[in-house]
Amino acid sequence: MTHRSSKPIALLLFITTLLFCGSGSAAPKVVVSILPIHSLVSGLMSGIGEPYLLLKGNQSPHTMTLKPSDVRAISQADLLVWVGESLESPLNRVIDNHSGSESIISLLTIPNLHLLPVRHDLDWSRHDHSEHHEEAHSDDEMEWDNHIWLSPENARTIVQYLAQVLIRLDTDHTAEYRTNLQKLLQRIDRDEMAFHATISAVKDRPFIVFHDAYHYLEDHFGLNAVGSVSISPERQSGAKHIHKLQQKIRRLEAICVFSEPQFQPKLVDTLTSGTEANAGILDPLGMALTPGPEAYFQLLNGLADNLATCLGGAL
């Protein structure tokens, strides 16, 4: 009886497997600066590849520190997506060294984006929140509020624009990008309606924020933010400053004062002490969320729930 070695057959199967796995085109290497935008890009690339996220954990985009692995990912990227130099300023130097400006997308400059101006006055109670702002673009990004993702209208514009960019970059997956885009648009519509329902009973109630990051959210959903307080998580406020801010909370008749995760609870309690205001937390970046396609929607839902809970506390 002749014994035949199985090695040639195994080798043939191995080579066939390699050829089969290599027959499809590789997903483009996409790097995204912040979690909310990364989540939208993840949704577009679902089933194709995973984008690389730069800003992780509780870092601020204004002061983010890049690791060597981040710099390497940027240098190897087929596409880099960021909001713009007014938000992720530490990326400026690295991006300047990146070859090929066509592979870098600054979202503040894309067409049809609904932009709102930066507010320099900390008291907004005199402003008309129903005012509609034209989609006008300036060469100076510093003129515009850069928290663009907090408007579902802008989220739709962003995913539609980036879907076209990805299709031009990776034509082999055109059908998948288009399918993913339609799913994303439907999900944005559905969660937008849910947000309206969650905050409908409290949206007219006045509130104050620690950080002017919610202009787009206020504008889109008709929320009644009346001002922000000038306070820093890195610097301890004195008694005189705290007293002045407490007077402002009372004067503006704020139902709630919203801090952010980086602020100590003791500071919030001190600030609201002696006022009628409740204390709440809003997180515009989703610092505690797990990166991925669900993160953007978890972010919006979390904002709606926290607004409704704090503003409804005295109902």
For residue 96, CA distances in Å to 3, 91, 100, 195 come to 65, 9, 10, 39
Please check whether residue 144 is in contact with residue 114, taking contact to mean a CB–CB distance below 8 angstroms: no
Alpha helix (H) residue ranges in 29-151: 35-44, 68-76, 92-96
Q: pTM for the complete prediction?
A: 0.85
Q: Largest alpha-carbon pair distance within the chain?
A: 100
Residues 24-38 have a mean pLDDT of 92
**Half-sphere exposure (CA, 13 Å, Cβ side) for 19?**
6
Per-residue pLDDT at 39 exceeds 60: yes
Give pLDDT, residue 140. 61
SS3 of the chain: helix, strand, coil, percent, to 5: 45, 10, 45
* For the ranges 81-90, 114-123, 158-167, the one whose mean pLDDT is highest: 158-167
Give the integer Cα–Cα distance in Å for 185 and 189: 6
Which region among 44-48, 183-187, 252-256, 289-293 has the lowest average model confidence (pLDDT)?
Answer: 252-256
DSSP state of 3: P
Q: Which residue has the tokens 């539609």?
A: 160
Q: What are phi and psi of 250, to 5 degrees?
A: -70, -40
Model pLDDT for residues 123-148, shown as the tens digit of each residue: 675 444 444 444 444 556 678 999 99
- The arithmetic mean of pLDDT across residues 284-299, rounded, is 96
What integer is the mean pLDDT of 187-198?
98
CA 290/CA 308 separation, integer angstroms: 23
pLDDT at residue 25 above 90? no
Take residue 39 and report the two structure tokens written for it.
């989540």
Domains of the chain listed by start with CATH number: 30-112+142-196 (3.40.50.1980), 200-311 (3.40.50.1980)
Over residues 51-73, the pLDDT tens digits come to 999 998 788 898 888 999 999 99
Choice between 303 and 20, residue whose per-residue pLDDT is larger: 303
Q: What per-residue confidence (pLDDT) applies to 269?
A: 84
pLDDT-derived band at 265 (thresholds 50, 70, 90) equals confident
Q: Hey, how many other C-beta atoms are within 10 angstroms of the C-beta on 314?
A: 12
pLDDT score, position 62: 85
Average pLDDT over residues 191-213: 94
User: How would residue 186 be classed by pLDDT, with cut points 50, 70 and 90?
Assistant: very high
